[in-house]
């Protein structure tokens, strides 16, 4: 793409990916503007110093590249449209994904609008994905591909978005940063939920969602411990349960929000964790003029490999059936659909079908581990 004379606003986080994105755009002849986005009011928290460090890194990179840079704040909008919805869903027993909410409500809506208000021709980010002929395509680095988090993006927005590093492996991005002596070249990738970071999730969220003591039970209703509140746990969870004893580790296999009971069983591959189908609605398509084909691929979590699936309409909702049983399909999380590497769109998982153990029990089949 010829970017000579084009104005491009780059969303800069203080990390190596957005730093190299700005560098590559300038090398391509674009008029580049760096913009640092603040979404969380962390002045009273330990993360405040890290946010300042990130902005200091943005400033240093932009000064080295000789491009202007600005901070912009969406603290109120983030709290209203991302964090508050996140907490509401937790209270319902769901497992929401705030990164997807942030991309939908902040980065590619309000932040995008600010970029366009500056007269930008494009907004660029350091995501590992590609915009090829108006289609959202997986990044070349399959271990870093981030299309899962971007499925809510619409074609009219995608047409004005650039992903300068989507054609590169992460190792190549690091190499470019080192060769150009960028301060972020060896900086570790950020991990965890953005407003929590490295802090303990349960401890942090308890300020907004009070503890509600309840029982850990097996599916046979044997009480095996006490928990802090069903809202704090998700299907398939192993860490943080505080349950010990001899044998395989315990895993969350089911929740009853009305009774505040968290059901657990031993074994990573317990059949209570596996489902052949799920239901969803409110499908979000990248290209509104297309549809999800009956047979395609999908994944129900970020790093999962694409799974063969069959999609059919049942009234106002979609039923998605999988060739192989899926582990810990979780209401509140997203299912994202693909066709040969192209991200078609996705939706929030609303309901899951009976687990393998429930299906087997209805047929009188003895309970046993899958593998």
Indicate if 144 and 49 belong to the same structural domain: yes
Structure token pair of residue 59: 């400033």
**185 found inside a domain:** no
Task: Give the pLDDT confidence score for residue 199 in this predicted structure.
Answer: 65
Q: Mark whether 102 is an active-site residue.
A: yes
User: By residue range, what is the domain housing residue 252?
Assistant: 211-266
Task: Give the pLDDT confidence score for residue 107 in this predicted structure.
Answer: 96
Task: Give the pLDDT confidence score for residue 45 in this predicted structure.
Answer: 55
According to DSSP, residue 329 is labeled: -
The answer for residues whose C-beta is within 8 angstroms of residue 143's C-beta and 6 or more apart is: 170, 303
**1 found inside a domain:** no
Burial class (CB in 10 A: 0-12, 13-18, 19+), 315: exposed
Indicate if 169 and 43 belong to the same structural domain: yes
Q: For residue range 290-315, list pLDDT tens digits in order.
A: 899 999 999 999 999 999 999 999 88
Q: With 90 as the cut, is the pLDDT of residue 27 above it?
A: yes
Task: Give percent of the chain above pLDDT 70.
Answer: 92
Going from the C-alpha of 163 to that of each of 9, 65, 277, the distances in angstroms are 12, 18, 33
Indicate if 21 and 136 belong to the same structural domain: yes
According to DSSP, residue 331 is labeled: B
Indicate if 251 and 295 belong to the same structural domain: no
> How many structural domains are present in the chain?
3
Task: Give the pLDDT confidence score for residue 196 in this predicted structure.
Answer: 64
Task: Give the pLDDT confidence score for residue 43 in this predicted structure.
Answer: 56
Q: Mark whether 194 is an active-site residue.
A: yes
* pTM score: 0.92
Closest CA to 222 of 251, 259, 271, 261: 261
- The overall average pLDDT reported for the chain is 91
Indicate if 134 and 80 belong to the same structural domain: yes
Q: With 70 as the cut, is the pLDDT of residue 346 above it?
A: yes
**Catalytic one among 49, 62, 129, 194?**
194
Indicate if 175 and 235 belong to the same structural domain: no
Indicate if 22 and 100 belong to the same structural domain: yes
Q: With 50 as the cut, is the pLDDT of residue 369 above it?
A: no
**Residues for the chain: how many in total?**
371
Indicate if 251 and 144 belong to the same structural domain: no
Closest CA to 131 of 38, 222, 1: 1
Indicate if 257 and 296 belong to the same structural domain: no
**Catalytic one among 62, 102, 129, 343?**
102
Q: For residue range 45-96, list pLDDT tens digits in order.
A: 555 557 788 999 999 999 999 999 999 999 999 999 999 999 999 999 999 9
Reported confidence tier of residue 256, pLDDT bands at 50, 70, 90: very high
Q: With 90 as the cut, is the pLDDT of residue 234 above it?
A: yes
CATH number of the domain residue 279 falls in: 2.40.30.10
Indicate if 29 and 120 belong to the same structural domain: yes
Reported confidence tier of residue 249, pLDDT bands at 50, 70, 90: very high
Indicate if 157 and 280 belong to the same structural domain: no
């Amino acid at each position: 793409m010829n970017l000579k004379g084009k104005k491009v606003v780059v969303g800069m986080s203080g990390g190596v990916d957005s730093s190299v994105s700005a560098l590559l755009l300038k090398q391509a002849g674009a008029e580049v503007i760096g913009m640092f986005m603040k979404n969380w009011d962390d002045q009273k928290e330990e993360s405040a110093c890290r946010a300042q460090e990130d902005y200091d890194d943005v400033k240093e990179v932009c000064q080295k590249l000789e491009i202007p840079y600005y901070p912009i704040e969406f603290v109120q909008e983030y709290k209203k449209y991302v964090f508050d919805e996140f907490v509401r869903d937790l209270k319902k027993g769901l497992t929401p994904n705030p990164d997807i909410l942030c991309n939908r409500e902040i980065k590619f809506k309000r932040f995008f609008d600010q970029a366009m208000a500056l007269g930008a021709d494009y907004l660029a980010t350091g995501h590992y994905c590609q915009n090829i002929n108006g289609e959202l395509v997986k990044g070349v680095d399959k271990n870093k591909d981030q299309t899962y988090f971007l499925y809510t993006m619409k074609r009219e927005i995608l047409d004005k978005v650039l992903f300068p590093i989507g054609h590169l492996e992460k190792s190549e991005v690091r190499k470019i940063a080192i060769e150009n002596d960028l301060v972020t070249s060896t900086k570790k990738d950020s991990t965890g939920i953005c407003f929590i970071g490295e802090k303990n999730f349960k401890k942090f969220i308890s300020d907004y969602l009070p503890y509600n003591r309840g029982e850990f039970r097996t599916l046979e209703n044997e009480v095996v411990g006490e928990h802090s509140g069903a809202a704090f746990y998700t299907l398939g969870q192993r860490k943080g349960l505080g349950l010990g004893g001899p044998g395989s580790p315990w895993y969350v296999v089911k929740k009853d929000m009305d009774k505040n009971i968290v059901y657990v069983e031993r074994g990573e591959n317990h059949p209570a964790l596996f489902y052949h189908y799920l239901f969803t609605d409110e499908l979000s398509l990248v290209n509104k003029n297309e549809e999800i084909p009956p047979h395609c691929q999908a994944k129900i979590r970020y790093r999962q490999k694409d799974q063969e699936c069959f999609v059919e309409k049942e009234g106002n909702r979609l039923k998605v059936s999988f060739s192989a049983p899926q582990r810990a399909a979780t209401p509140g999380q997203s299912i994202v659909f693909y066709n040969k590497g192209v991200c078609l769109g996705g939706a929030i998982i609303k309901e899951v079908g009976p687990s393998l153990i429930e299906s087997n029990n209805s047929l009188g089949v003895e309970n046993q581990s899958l593998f």
